Structure 1
Amino acid sequence: MSASKHLSDLTARIIPCLDVAAGRVVKGTNFKQLIDMGDPVELALKYEQQGADELVFLDIKASVDHQPSALTMVQNVAMNLSIPFAVGGGIKTMDDVHRFFNAGADKVTLNTMAVTEPDLINQISRQYGSQSIVVAIDVNREDGGELSVYTHGGSQRTTLDYHHWVREVVDRGAGEILLTAMHKDGTGTGFDCGLLNELGADYPIQVIASGGANGPEDFLQAIQAGADAVLAAGIFHRNEYTVKDIKDFLIQHQIPMRTTP
């Protein structure tokens, strides 16, 4: 699959992901063994200065009890940040959606609730537009090779057929799919380009690749495989690469990028 889509279509995006637990940014391997990485607002500003196109905040330990602190975080981020950001975790109803948008989020991300209450995708798309809704799909390649969809922060395996679910998400009005290959998450072995190739560069909605970034070459391969955006966490949080490092490499390989003045 070539990167020709991105030469004539939207510019490919680089999106740092900030997994948040109890008000702090954390990072783990295969969604486990979480390590504290810092303050959400401080990290958000750092990534904006490095040239990030967007940010994604995922409250990975979200519950109703934690939502007030999550809303406070969103308000603080919105007051300090000028690039778009999405928020996910603990969103169960349209009232929750309203609260996060009112707090300043540009997009909401659904995962578990998209599976358990799929009509919520339709409702958000109708009220706020498809560009406001990102559906996160956590998919794991099992030992037998089959693809399984997981919810609840990667802890519960569903009976969904992965390919049917991807199609349904599009049909229900999502603007983007955040596709996380759980078997790649935190491993540093590169993105699952096979999954991206399956969807292809002409997929009807934007696809964000997630899970497995180790260096600039992985971002290039993901975009060449059809990703519209590439999301990563650990390599940025650990200061192994800056967003600018990744973008400079991609520009050198003829991938159009938004550059920071």
Structure 2
Amino acid sequence: MWEDAVDPNAFLKTLHNYVFFEDGLTVGELMENLAPWAGTMAGAASMDFSAFLAEVRHEPTALQEEVSHIALRYRICIRPVPAFKKQDEPLSKTKDERYVFAPGQPIRTGRLTIDEGWDSYAVLKPEHRHHYDGSESISLNVSPMNEWKHLPILIDEAGVLYDETALASSAAYLGTRKALTRKDHPNVAAKTLPNGRRGMHEISIDAPCPTFFDVIILGFIWEVGFHYSPVKRTRFRKELLEQVARLDAGGAGIEEEKKELSRMNQARFEAGLAMIKRLEASASRLGLPLMEN
């Protein structure tokens, strides 16, 4: 087979080389182009690439028609470094006898952290956006890849800088309510949260030259396989649709299901809390604090 003739280390040698997509390249074609290096993709992106490839090659029962294309976009996010005043008991009990984890009172750090990278977006056709409260894009995490393998995939030349210091919740960590960027600047889009509070500031920027590792592996392949394998996703999707059908039908037993789900969540929470306490005890013995004071 021709796949056996290719260099198995080709992509490892060119991880940081620039990549450009041909006009009209589809998701399915991109997956097929990567097929000879399925093992490398599985290791680099921590996902079952072969399973997704098999799914792409399978004929779909339906096609995703609401999405126009898949866009790979660059973003930079500036946010404050959080810290909390340590408290003896991080749990508080609500009126309905549930425990809520509270890390403690926020304290000022005066430091910032920067997160950057490429993300993939399933961009909706304008005529379908009113079905999703005006959103520009949706998630395809629970949709089989063969349903959207026909969609074009492209790399956006423009990126976005998100300034989270504009959020009201950032003031405690920065010691000031002033954002790094001015909301009245003509190049700043000041957002408002659904609850009416201040949102992030968004600034359009030029994206850096896209590389194979940053864009294809981290920006697309890794995100495709992050949530589910095809088998797990199909099972989750089936359960989700069954729950929606029961809710729509107003069937009996829904309240009991809610109670059972609440009990399961509480059990998971208590198990996680016990693990945190064990970690704190171990860290204390080693002199390694888990949170800043």
Which band: TM-score by shorter chain? under 0.3
Q: TM-score, normalised by structure 1?
A: 0.21
Which of the pair has more CA radius of gyration? 2
